[in-house]
Amino acid sequence: CNRAGDGKRGIVTLESMAEMKAAISRRHINLVLRQLFSDYRSGRIPEIDPLLEKILALLPKKKNPKKISQTYNQIVAELSDAGQPDMAKEWVSRLRAAGCELETAQRIKLAQACFLKGDELTAL
């Protein structure tokens, strides 16, 4: 679906899946994140942080740490692509607090976003 607000509807779907104890795959998360950020970039979603927190809360913490790490990394990449390096840096802090590492590709995207925002020092 590519209608306005599909990102929020996707979160509701993920929540329903979690309630039914259905497996939430990486593909499901990617689809919802992509649509959520599309809605955010177009201005249909003014505040994205609470929605991202909901997605992370749905992931079983001990079952699949790689899925959690990938989700954090995708959030950082999407925020960097959306021209929000400050928010992306906040999510890097959350990523590290969760015991995950930022992947090289996301570091590059974040550095580029910082550089485009005029923050050459952080970009280095």
Q: Are residues 40 and 16 in the same domain?
A: yes
pLDDT digit string, tens, across residues 35-70? 999 999 998 888 999 999 999 888 877 667 888 899
- How far is the C-alpha of 5 from the C-alpha of 50, rounded, in Å? 15
Q: CA 87, 88, 92 angle in degrees (round to 5)?
A: 120
Q: Are residues 40 and 66 in the same domain?
A: no
pLDDT for residue 123 is more than 70: no
Q: Are residues 39 and 74 in the same domain?
A: no
Using an 8 Å Cβ cutoff, are 54 and 11 in contact? yes
Show the domain range for 53: 1-58
Q: What mean pLDDT, rounded, does the chain reach?
A: 86
pLDDT for residue 124 is more than 50: no
Task: Give the pLDDT confidence score for residue 15 in this predicted structure.
Answer: 93
Q: Are residues 39 and 20 in the same domain?
A: yes
Q: Are residues 68 and 122 in the same domain?
A: yes
pTM of the complete model beyond 0.75:
yes
Question: Position 9: which residue type?
Answer: R
**Chain centre distance of CA 54:** 11
pLDDT digit string, tens, across residues 83-97? 899 999 999 999 999
Q: What is the sign, positive or negative, of the torsion defined by CA atoms of 59, 1, 40, 30?
A: positive
Using an 8 Å Cβ cutoff, are 55 and 28 in contact? no
Number of folded domains that form the chain:
2
Task: Give the pLDDT confidence score for residue 24 in this predicted structure.
Answer: 86
Q: Are residues 69 and 38 in the same domain?
A: no
Q: Are residues 85 and 108 in the same domain?
A: yes
Q: Are residues 53 and 70 in the same domain?
A: no
Q: Are residues 9 and 27 in the same domain?
A: yes
Joined together, the tokens standing for residue 107 give: 């570091």
Q: Are residues 4 and 48 in the same domain?
A: yes
Task: Give the pLDDT confidence score for residue 4 in this predicted structure.
Answer: 52
Q: Are residues 97 and 75 in the same domain?
A: yes
| Domain's final residue, options 21, 36, 58 | 58
Task: Give the pLDDT confidence score for residue 67 in this predicted structure.
Answer: 84
Task: Give the pLDDT confidence score for residue 122 in this predicted structure.
Answer: 56
Using an 8 Å Cβ cutoff, are 76 and 102 in contact? yes
pLDDT for residue 27 is more than 70: yes
Q: Are residues 122 and 94 in the same domain?
A: yes
